[in-house]
Amino acid sequence: MSGVNKNIVILISGGGSNMAALVKAAQQGRWSERFGARVACVISNRAEAAGLLLARRQGIDTAVLEHKNFATRAAFDAALMSEIDRHAPVLVLLAGFMRILTPGLVAHYDGRLLNIHPSLLPAFPGLHTHRRAIDMGCKFAGASVHRVTAEVDQGELLDQAVVPVLPDDTPDALAARVLTQEHLMYPRVVEGLLARMD
């Protein structure tokens, strides 16, 4: 493969553990050599997001767009699209990005926009997934990687990881076990997509 021409942009709001797992997988899996792919930029809607420091330590370009500085969701998404498009990404990966995106942004990245969600979709879209799974008496929980559509957590499922719910589980304990599976699954899905690109 001649040169690195497939840019990946990752959007985060917090600690960025899934982003870090993706960056590590890109390095260890030699995505640049094998696929001509690299994580080109990490963008956050919160300046204090710890994941930004992790990205900078890896030499990855970062950007901050504070959503509270924009009058409307549409104005924020327009600025976000402009920032993302500077990198001409083949994939835009949501990794704990805590914003509901406008249909216009979702349509702009149709087929290129992925999310990881901490439940076995279609069960428990939205927030507080682990508490809801425990409260419902679920025997299993997990995570899903899916394409993003205008409907929250409703897009095509690309992979899922299943974790048992233990009798004495708390939401935090369950979340921690699910997260270890997220860190394996998300990079695997992305690598598979890169391998199928021309």
List residues with catalytic annotation: 117
* Nearest alpha-carbon partner for 36 in 78, 57, 5: 5
| Residues 80/66, Cβ–Cβ less than 8 Å | no
What is the number of alpha carbons within 13 Å of residue 89 lying toward its C-beta? 26
Beta strand 61-64 with 6-12 is: unpaired
Ranges of beta strands (E only) in 45-139 are 61-64, 89-94, 113-117
